[in-house]
Every structure is written in structure tokens, then in C-alpha cells.
Amino acid sequence: MSDQHRTESTVTNPVIPGFHPDPSICRVGGDYYLVCSSFEYFPGIPVFHSRDLVNWTQIGNALDRPSQLRLPRDQPSSGGIYAPTLRHHDGRFWLIVTNVSDSGNLLFTATDPAGPWSDPILLPGVHGIDPDLAWDEDGTCWCTVAGVSQVRLDPHTGETLGEPHKVWSGTAVAPEAPHLYRIGDYWYLLIAEGGTERGHGVSIARGRTPAGPFEPCPANPILTHRSTSNPIQNTGHADLVQAPDGSWWMVLLGVRPGGGTPGWHVLGRETFLAPVEWVDDWPVVGPLSLEPPAPAWPLRPGPTPPIRDDFDHAELQPCWISVRERPAQLCTTKERSGWLTLHAVGASLDEPDPAFVGRRQQHLSCAVRTLVDPTEGRGGLAVRLDEQHHYEIEAATGEVKVYARIGPLRTEVGSAPVPVGPVVLGLEITPQPPQGPRTGPDQIAFGIEAPDGTFTVLGELDGRYLSTEVAGGFTGRVIGMYAASGTVHFDWFDYHPHQLS
């Protein structure tokens, strides 16, 4: 076993921080590719690449055209794209996923995971969410869905072959996220169960054929952090991959709750990595923690640099996402050279399809700045969880205001006059140490930055209200720019992560 994949050590986690849930992974040669759920955001299904399982780069989004992804405006947030499975077979990449807001289960293919991906193959005979693909030795394709049921599938046409049948009910409530593998002498069926909250876990069964019957592992669940004080919670929805050196690894989702009781996770469900060893033909999951023991071992990501976009490219970088759609006529970098231009379609982020371009918050502490020109409209910088839970600082000609939307409440938090013309808007997110059972996880301060770098805070807000524990749903925070009326231009966007001690 190489030093690069020593399983006696733990990994610095999460390996893909922020709102990147339901990871699915495959390896081709020395390259790993990983995809995640994207829910109501467009483009959909971020695609990542890595050579070491820890340092990941987003290389695209699989669903980047309206012909691939329909997200109707009358569908609530946390709908849309659920639980993709990524596989490589017969020289092609295969991606199967559920669009719960429109088309049901869909299948896409590509020769290059960076894209382009095909238009969807509809799967009307595949019922249920969290679909998986696996091929046996004679080329038969098996599709397994949450529940857990299974049907044979022609992946080229989308036609199902025969009737679906139940294969395993798991060991707890809500069996979901099935993945089927041939490893050694057995077929293994890996699932998540226990619900996607604190009771989440990973279990496995094995059989001699892809259709079972399946024998549960006597050590199930093979991974869960339920009823523990581990700083990583909600662990589940896993996928397995083997490295070139023969070692095995598991990617899975988890959250990092903060603050007092009950703990609030604000970044959404993130992607974690854990080593796996095999004992008596069963997988044993190794340590899953936030930090490796000293001295650090090779599987450790490098420092995160500041992330700045000057909008000098004709197309937006793949990290940028919008709510449900991104019509080119409403969002462009071509109208004013070197600026992002947004044309408003709704009066605020309360609307289901705002003119909004954001990126996932990936760090528990960060600073964000953007230079906005509101002389033709009104807009600014926002932290969004959904239509009813968002904070923003908004600029209009000669004035800046801070707003909070928390459920049915929308209120102005602070304001200040500013000179007419471009203004630098900013926010600072700072974790709060627990000082009692109701201490929030973090504080979000909004303000304006002067030319000399002085930051004037206009409003501070408790971050717990932009958390899943308060708002519900399956997503995490997205920080970005928006237009509420008219036309608003943004010269640059700077996201600076702060290192926590």
C-alpha cells in the first residue's frame, strides 16, 4: 500500500466543503470524478475531478442547458435534482438522476465528464428516487432505486426489461441511496437509512447475484454518528471507490453543526472521505474526522486561496449557480465588458426566479466583497437559503439598505447614504462560540467598504435562521449578487475564506 493511501490515518475533511450533498464517484485510470445533487439550482449537477481523492476541482456542470434541466418556478426550493449516480462503462460516462420537480428519472451520457453531456434519456419505467446503475458480466444493466427495488434497464433507450422487484428493506427507516457493486466473489448493495438528519447511517448487504438474495452485514450500520458528540453529523449517502494501489475509500455526505442546542448546520450537507478496509468480505470504515493526527500525512488539501472573479470571460465559471434558470438575456458578461450585468425579473429574492448569480458558501468563516453599480437599478449582495430565508445588502442610487427575510417576516436592519455611483458592498461571516443552549452558529455582518479598505457595518444578523434546522429543506447557503429592479452591474466578486484556529 502506497504512502498516498495509508488507511491507518484519517483525512482532513470535508474534502468538498459547502452545499455538495449526495456524492457519487467513479475512477478511470488515475483520475477520479465526482458529482453531487443540485436541487433547485441551475446549472445542475456539479462535476469534480481529482487525482488524490482530497484536492478536487470543479470541471463543469453536467446539466447546463435548458433542454437537459427543467425546474418549474411553481415548485418549492429543495425540489429539482436529487441524488445522481456517476459510472464509467464501455468507454462512456453514465449519469442517472431524479428530477423530482418535472421529469422523474433521467439518464445522461458523455465521453468527457467535463461535458458536453447528452440530452436526457427518459426513464418512465423507473419509479422512485436515488437511481443507481450497475452492469453484470453479460452486459445486463441493473437499475436500483430507494426503497429498495430493482429493475433491468436498457440504458441506450431507457426501456425497462421486466417488472421491478424488491431486493432489500434495510435495517432502519427510509432505505435510500442504493449503490450496487461487484467486488470479489459477491455483489454488494450499499444503502443509506435512518433519515437524512441526525439518525443517518450507512448499511450494506451482499449476495451471489446482482438481484440477490442479500445477506445484511452483521455490523450494520457500518457507519453512523447518531447519538455521538462527533463534530461531523448526519453521515450517510455513501459511495465506494478503489484506488489504483488497491486501497478502498468511501465518499459520503455529512454536516458540521455549530452553536448551542440543537446545533445548526449552515453550509448544507458536504462531501467527506473515509478509508475502508475489508475484513471477512465485509467493508470496515476507518476514521472520519475533521483533522488528521500530527504530523499531517500526504492526503491533505492545500490552503484555500481567495476566490476572485473579475468577469472578464465570455461565460461564467462553473461554480456560479442561479435559481431554477439563467436566461442569457437577463445575465451576461457581454453587455458591459469586464462586468456581470443582471436584469431584474422580480422585486426581491422572495420571488421564485430572481436575477441571482451565486456560489456556495464553503467555509464557516469568510469575507465577501463586490463592486456594484446601481445607477440603472437596485440590487446587491445576498446570502440565500430559500425564498423565505435570506439576508441581503442592497444598493440603490445614493442609498444602501440591509434586509432580513425570516419566514413570514421581512424587515430592514440598517441603512446608510452613499455617493451616487459604484459602491463596494460586503459581508463578514464569523462563527460564534457556544455561550448557552441557544447560541447561534455564526454572525453575519453586512456593510460597505471605503476606498481605504475601512469596512462599516450596517447590520448584524444571527446565522441560525439561514440553517436547515430552522428553514427545513436539503440545501445550504449560497452567496451571490442579484438585481431587484432595473439593471445592475457588478465589476468583481471576491470571496475570502478565513482560517479557523
Residue numbers annotated as active site: 22, 176
Angle, CA 393 vertex, CA 392 and CA 398 arms, to 5°: 150
Looking at residue 262, the DSSP 8-state letter turns out to be T
How do strand 132-135 and strand 141-145 relate by DSSP bridges? antiparallel
Q: For the beta carbon of residue 301, count every other beta carbon within 10 angstroms.
A: 17
What is the C-alpha separation between 166 and 62, in angstroms, rounded?
Answer: 30
The answer to whether residues 38 and 46 touch, using CB atoms and an 8 Å cutoff, is: yes
The answer to whether residues 448 and 458 touch, using CB atoms and an 8 Å cutoff, is: yes
Looking at residue 471, the DSSP 8-state letter turns out to be H
Looking at residue 13, the DSSP 8-state letter turns out to be S
Number of residues assigned to the chain: 501
Q: Could you tell me the strand order of the sheet in which 92-99 lies?
A: 81-89, 92-99, 104-110, 121-122
The helix/strand count (H/E) of the chain reads as 1, 36
What is the C-alpha separation between 199 and 212, in angstroms, rounded?
Answer: 27
What is the C-alpha separation between 258 and 468, in angstroms, rounded?
Answer: 12
CA distances from 197 to 236, 262, 286 (A): 9, 12, 22
Instruction: Write phi, then psi, for 440 (nearest 5 degrees).
Output: -70, 165
What is the C-alpha separation between 109 and 112, in angstroms, rounded?
Answer: 9
The H or E element containing residue 104 is strand 104-110
Residue type present at position 140 = T
Instruction: Write phi, then psi, for 470 (nearest 5 degrees).
Output: -95, -50
105 strand-pairing partners: 98
